[in-house]
Structures are given as C-alpha cells and as structure tokens.
C-alpha cells in the first residue's frame, strides 16, 4: 500500500462505513486512485467455465453494486470482476445503519438487503463498459416479489447481453427467507428457469451458483447434485455467515452477514467439501476471508480454480488485488506448479 492510499484509507475509516464506500467509488470514477492495469503471466492465466482470466483473483459482488465503476475496477489488477447484486426492480434495501466495521477482527457485518438501482439501469451501464477483464453480474430477487425464483431469470434476460457470466445469489442472509431457495427442489426449479433464460440469450454466458457457508453436509450434497444435474458452470463458496463464533467486538450482535477474516476457515472447509462432493467436476470459486496471497493460495489448494475478495479491501486498499495476484505467482513458482489448475485441490484433505 502506497502512502497516498494509506492516508486515504485512514480518512475514510473515520466516517460512516456506507458513506465511506460511496466516496471510495467516487474517487475511483474521478481517477484519484492509482490503478496498475492487468496483472498476468503464464502461471496466472486461468481458464474457468470457458472464460479466460489474466489471473485468478476476482472482485466479489457488493463492491460495485450498481456497475458505476466497472471501467476502473477492471484496471485494478483483478482477473475478473463481479458487480451487483441486481434485482428486476430498484429497491432501497434495509434501513440504515446497515454496514459495520469490526476493525480489530478485520471483518464487516452488512445487512444491505439487495439495495440497487434495478436491472434496467444496471444493464445500460454494463452496455457502455469498455473491453477488459471478464465482468459478471450477481443476480438477486426483490424483497416484495411473490415469484422470487422468476426474478433471477428476469435479471439475466435484461442484463445478459452485456455480461460475461452470471451468479445466482440464493445465499444472502439479508433478504427474509431467501436462503430457503437453497433447498433441493426450490433450487432445481430456480436454476432451470435461469438456464432457459441463459440459453435464449444472443450469446449464452456461464452461470455460477453462490452458496452460504452455514450449510450442513446433507445440504452441501444436495447442492452439489442439483448443480451438476442443472449444468451449473461453477459454484461460488461462500457468501457471508450468520455465525459469530469467537467474535469479541461490541458490534458482533448486529444482524446481518459477517465477512472478512473470521470467515476464512469456515468457508474454506465448505469449499474443500464441495470439491470432494463434486469429484472436482464443477469448478469452484473460493471466497471468504482472503487478505493475503497465502490465503488465496490456501483456497486454491483446497479446491478452488479462482478466488474472489472484497472485505479485505476495506482494510488494505484496492492495491491488495495486484499484490495477491503477484504473490500467487511466486507461490505457484515456489511449489513447482506451471499454472493454477495444477495446484487446485492438492491439499484438500487438510480441510476435511
């Protein structure tokens, strides 16, 4: 982290977290943040679900909910970028305050509730984005919808022509009963609708499924079976957790999803178990608690073909993406791997 970035982060941490995030996005759009451009190399280049990534380090959904800074984050060193979540209709989300920093524990609790500008507005912004790294969209459902499963297909129909992949988000804890859609029957029906919408696009895109870390072994087995039967192109493991194990912060009692360092072990165990359940036949994207090259590498060796991060950027700055990608290159070289695929799941058993 350079001195300017360190000073900027220090100032942003002194104000309300949600307002701080808005200011960070504005600074990006105004060109006030130094961006390294593509970070790549022979060991880092990655293929997943038909996509070619310059490196396997992605930006998770939530950072750029409304696709207002796609051009800028695509030049921040990430190998791929996910925006959203988007819902068919715009919605304000849950009442504020709804974002809380747990600084000593390098964690965040949020209960946003899919606040976004709606699929039509987001589609217009995505249509105007420049070429660059692959850009995907996190699909969500409106809180007041009586046909939530159909909402996912509607967003994909609207935004699909302008994205490189779509992620079905049935794992946010901040929309009441949304996680019920992870059940075997409900999930199968939802995914069938999404796949029909995908197949009708002028250019069909890969569909990913993002799951919660708070699932038992039977739930994971059901999800793995449904994902394979429906032809899901990758599983994103995992979203935020409702657990608060070991937290000491006075903010630990706030409702919402917990992300950041405390999620790392829980999400990595889920990742490794999914790798085992799918017999490595469905690519996995590891998310949850990544804040260093070593943690990204641990996700890969546990079963991930690529990784995503967000919360660590709050504490380490946007330059962390390039730092992790370069660090991954060094770790792959150290261990004699020619690419990420060779390292994937090589230490999975340590997490089972």
CATH number of 38-351: 3.20.20.70
What is each CA distance from 156 to 28, 88, 149, 215, in whole angstroms? 27, 9, 12, 26
* Collapsed DSSP state (helix, strand, coil) of residue 19: helix
Residue scoring higher pLDDT (279 or 135): 135
Q: Which residue, among 102, 134, 61, has the nearest Cα to 309 in the 3D structure?
A: 61
- Kindly give the residue spans of alpha helices, DSSP state H, lying in 252-319: 264-277, 293-302, 311-316
Q: Which residue, among 251, 173, 162, 183, has the nearest Cα to 212 in the 3D structure?
A: 173
Residues marked as catalytic: 172
- Looking at residue 6, its pLDDT comes to 61
C-alpha 161/C-alpha 201 separation (Å) is: 7
Tens-place pLDDT, residues 148-195: 999 999 999 999 999 999 999 988 887 877 777 777 888 999 999 999
Whether 10 shows a pLDDT value over 60: the answer reads no
Q: Which residue, among 79, 58, 81, has the nearest Cα to 68 in the 3D structure?
A: 81
DSSP code at position 282: S
> Is 133 in contact with 56 (CB distance < 8 Å)?
no
C-alpha 157/C-alpha 140 separation (Å) is: 13
Q: What is the pTM of this model?
A: 0.95
Q: Where are the beta strands (DSSP E) in 156-293?
A: 165-169, 207-211, 234-237, 257-260, 284-287
Q: Which residue, among 180, 169, 205, has the nearest Cα to 49 in the 3D structure?
A: 205
The phi and psi torsions of 249 (rounded to 5 degrees) equal -60, 140
Tens-place pLDDT, residues 35-60: 999 899 999 999 999 999 999 999 99
> Is 247 in contact with 206 (CB distance < 8 Å)?
no
Q: Using alpha carbons only, what angle is made at residue 49 by residues 228 and 218, rounded to the nearest 5 degrees?
A: 30
CB atoms within 10 A of CB 253: 9
- Domain spans, the chain: 38-351
Tens-place pLDDT, residues 79-106: 999 999 999 999 999 999 999 999 999 9
Rounded mean pLDDT of the chain?
94
The position carrying tokens 């990655």 is: 46
Whether 8 shows a pLDDT value over 90: the answer reads no
């Amino acid at each position: 982290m350079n001195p300017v970035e360190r000073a900027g982060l220090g100032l942003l941490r002194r104000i309300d977290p949600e307002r701080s995030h808005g200011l960070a996005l504005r600074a990006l759009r105004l060109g006030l943040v130094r961006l390294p451009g593509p970070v790549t190399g022979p060991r880092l280049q990655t293929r997943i679900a038909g996509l070619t990534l310059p490196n396997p380090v992605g930006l998770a959904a939530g950072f750029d909910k409304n696709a207002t800074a796609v051009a800028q984050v695509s030049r921040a060193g990430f190998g791929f970028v996910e925006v959203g979540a988007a819902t068919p209709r715009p919605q304000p989300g849950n009442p504020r305050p709804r974002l809380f920093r747990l600084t000593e524990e390098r964690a965040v609790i949020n209960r946003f509730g899919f606040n976004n500008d709606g699929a039509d507005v987001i589609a217009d912004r995505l249509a105007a984005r420049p070429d660059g790294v692959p850009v995907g969209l996190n699909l969500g459902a409106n809180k007041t919808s009586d046909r939530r499963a159909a909402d996912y297909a509607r967003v994909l129909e609207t935004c699909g022509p302008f994205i490189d992949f779509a992620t079905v988000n049935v794992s946010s804890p901040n929309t009441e009963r949304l996680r019920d859609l992870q059940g075997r029957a409900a999930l199968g029906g939802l995914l069938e609708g999404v796949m029909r919408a995908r197949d009708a696009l002028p250019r069909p895109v890969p569909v990913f499924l993002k799951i919660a870390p708070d699932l038992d072994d039977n739930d994971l087995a059901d999800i793995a079976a449904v994902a394979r039967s429906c032809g899901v192109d990758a599983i994103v493991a995992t979203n935020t957790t409702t657990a608060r194990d070991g937290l000491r912060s006075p903010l630990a009692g706030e409702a919402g999803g917990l992300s950041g360092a405390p999620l790392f072990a829980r999400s990595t165990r889920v990742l490794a178990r999914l790798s085992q359940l799918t017999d490595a036949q469905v690519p996995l994207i590891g998310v949850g608690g990544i804040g260093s090259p070593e943690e990204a590498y641990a996700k890969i060796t546990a079963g991930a073909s690529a990784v995503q991060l967000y919360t660590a950027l709050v504490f380490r700055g946007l330059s962390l993406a390039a730092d992790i990608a370069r660090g991954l290159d060094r770790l792959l070289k150290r261990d004699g791997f020619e690419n990420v695929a060779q390292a994937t799941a090589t230490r999975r058993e340590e997490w089972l």
